[in-house]
Structure 1
Amino acid sequence: MNSSSPGSGVTIVGSANIDIVYGVERIPGPGETLLASSAARYPGGKGLNQTVAAARAGAPTTFIGAVGHDEFGEELLATLTDDQIDTSLLRRSTRATGQAFIMVDANAENAIVVSPGANADVTALTDSDRACLQSTGVLLMQLEIPLDTVREAAAVAHAARATVMLNAAPAHALPAQLLADLDVLIVNEHEACLIGASDDLATASATLAALVPRVIVTLGAAGCALYEDGAEVGRVAAPRVAAVDTTGAGDTFCGAFAAAISDGAAYGDAAEFATHAAALSVQALGAVPSIPVRAAIEEARA
């Protein structure tokens, strides 16, 4: 784990989408058509969600991503600006702004299909991007943008002694050099098993924990498991709440955790802070609208 980082704040390199959310009784099977009970449009994308979560949790936050020159792009730019996020490194693409089509069932579970659009243009870091990564305290990334960009950003930030975090979603194999540049890997149960190459969660988690200094496995309503130096070091229980929409819970956790670490919180305390943030987020519809502010998180922890 990098220590004594000279940087400050949180920088997110990642995706930005418009989410089209359909409420359904259950997730349809192959070849099946269902009528939705509701439809709504929200700002989204894992990168943007985590950026908003970090900002609302109190961290000075910068977003490096891309949106199109279209109505959706303007909407996402306004969302970032409203939360006082630094958008000076946001790319404007000739491609359409990314879109995600989300079904949320009666049990608050979801299924998601993403059309990346402009997110495919988050490539080849600029000199300004590199300067930002060399001065940040925490870098947080996901896998909805080109992997080469994730690898490059991790290497730049790691060399500058920032704390480098990756939320490995959507899950796929991770290059050895990327793993070597990470300080924190955050995955859910499904992602842990895919990347850790085992159907047994404990085995998969142990495999990942041997590769990255700190690994967090989020467990939904059960909270999260914390690994450090190759071993499980604790668990954080989630508060019991009535879930309405779990779509943004993982992203809220990641952004809030990054903000807490950037503020100097200890590992376990940051995870507990993030768990309460995620629990608040599942109680409202929409990934971005449901993300809580710091005061609400602190009140929930009291």
Structure 2
Amino acid sequence: MADFDVLCVGAINFDLIATVDHVPVDDERMFAEAMVSATGGPAATAAVTLAKLGYRVAVSAAVGRDSAGDFVLDALQTAGVDIRYVTRHEAMTTSQSIILANQVSGHRTIITQQPNGLPDQFPLDAAPVIHVDQVGFGLIDPLLSDDSTRRPRLSIDAGNPIPTLDLSRTWLYTPTVAALTSRYGATPKESALAALREGAELVVATDGSAGSWWFAPETEPVHAPATKANIVSTLGAGDVFHGALLAALLDGQVPSDALRFANTCAALSCRAIDGQSAIPTRSEIRSHQELATATLNKENQ
């Protein structure tokens, strides 16, 4: 038996988040309504989501031996994420991001450092599922065996560009609709079919306030509308969606339920300025879905 259900490989960031009412222009001085330090990064946020939803999860990444590295690793451990495969480099600076969270639009502007170090460990036998972001894909893809009976199932967060993306050994491919259609130059459905022909077993595309889509071979697409929630910041919502979707798939949920579960989890995570502190529990997700269903039934009476 593997030690974990999922191994997340990729980026861990130290985020400094400022809430503003607009994005400043050149030479403008402005005051933030609030400033928050938090842990971020696509792989890290997906890992925290999985842990919050009850799965055994580890993360493989690289951070420096600095105060930012101490901060992010303490946060991950507190959230229940195993950090045994995180490498700390003496000469590395932990990747940091400055994020402006626009309280008027709900959107965010991100300035981030590229990681300047790589992890030493990303064991393929640690978990039956490996989830990678744009950083992790380049590390894991060359190691995957063509023997499908031995290699783990690969989940790819393609929310950020991956120049070397190869779907030939992919179980779950999760781009945004914009990234999907840009890659294939066609409609979302046609683009998803192209991705399936390229090798992905399942394509799930996120479309922000328009919800999410599920595409699988020889079946009709499944769409789930976005979940309504009180939005403070959308920072990390896509990464939370990826973690929640993996949890739903590991649960064995059917497509429509899996999309609704992931949409709800992502929406509720937007209740806070940062991308992780408001990630909901299963009971919170269930309560929100039950309330939404009751409200809809009442409106239809």
Q: TM-score under structure 2 normalisation?
A: 0.85
In the TM superposition, 1:154-165 aligns within 5 A as 154-155=144-145, 160-165=150-155
Q: Secondary structure at the match of 1:134?
A: coil
Residue 116 of structure 1, aligned match among 114, 117, 127:
114
Residue 170 of structure 1, aligned match among 133, 140, 160:
160
Change (3 A) 1:263 1:138: farther
Q: Secondary structure at the match of 2:161?
A: coil
Higher RCO (CA 8 Å, separation ≥ 6 residues): 1
Counterpart check, 1:81 vs 2:77? yes
**Unpaired segments ≥5 residues, structure 2:** 291-301
Residue 195 of structure 2, aligned match among 208, 223, 230:
208
Counterpart check, 1:152 vs 2:142? yes
Moved beyond 6 Å, runs of 4+: none
Aligned to 1:134: 125
Residue 248 of structure 2, aligned match among 247, 255, 260:
260
Structure with bigger gyration radius? 2
Aligned to 1:218: 206
Q: Secondary structure at the match of 1:295?
A: helix
Counterpart check, 1:59 vs 2:46? no
Instruction: Judge which range, 253-262 or 202-211, deviates more.
Output: 202-211
**Offset of 1:293 from its aligned partner?**
2.0
**Offset of 1:280 from its aligned partner?**
0.5
Change (3 A) 1:256 1:155: farther
Change (3 A) 1:156 1:286: farther
Aligned to 1:100: 97
Change (3 A) 1:51 1:234: same
Amino acid at match of 2:132: M
Is the CA contact (8 Å cut-off) linking 1:276 and 1:297 kept in structure 2? yes
**Offset of 1:161 from its aligned partner?**
4.7
**Offset of 1:166 from its aligned partner?**
0.3
**Unpaired segments ≥5 residues, structure 1:** none
In the TM superposition, 1:225-244 aligns within 5 A as 225-229=213-217, 232-244=220-232
Counterpart check, 1:15 vs 2:3? no
Change (3 A) 1:116 1:230: farther
CA–CA separation in structure 1 for the residues paired with 2:39 and 2:188: 32
Aligned to 2:284: 296
CA–CA separation in structure 2 for the residues paired with 1:230 and 1:100: 42
Q: Secondary structure at the match of 1:121?
A: coil
Is the CA contact (8 Å cut-off) linking 1:154 and 1:164 kept in structure 2? no
Is the CA contact (8 Å cut-off) linking 1:46 and 1:144 kept in structure 2? no
Q: Secondary structure at the match of 2:134?
A: coil
Structure 1 vs Structure 2 CA RMSD: 2.6
Amino acid at match of 1:97: T
Counterpart check, 1:42 vs 2:38? yes
Is the CA contact (8 Å cut-off) linking 1:206 and 1:231 kept in structure 2? no
**Offset of 1:227 from its aligned partner?**
0.6
Q: Percent identity?
A: 22
Q: TM-score under structure 1 normalisation?
A: 0.85
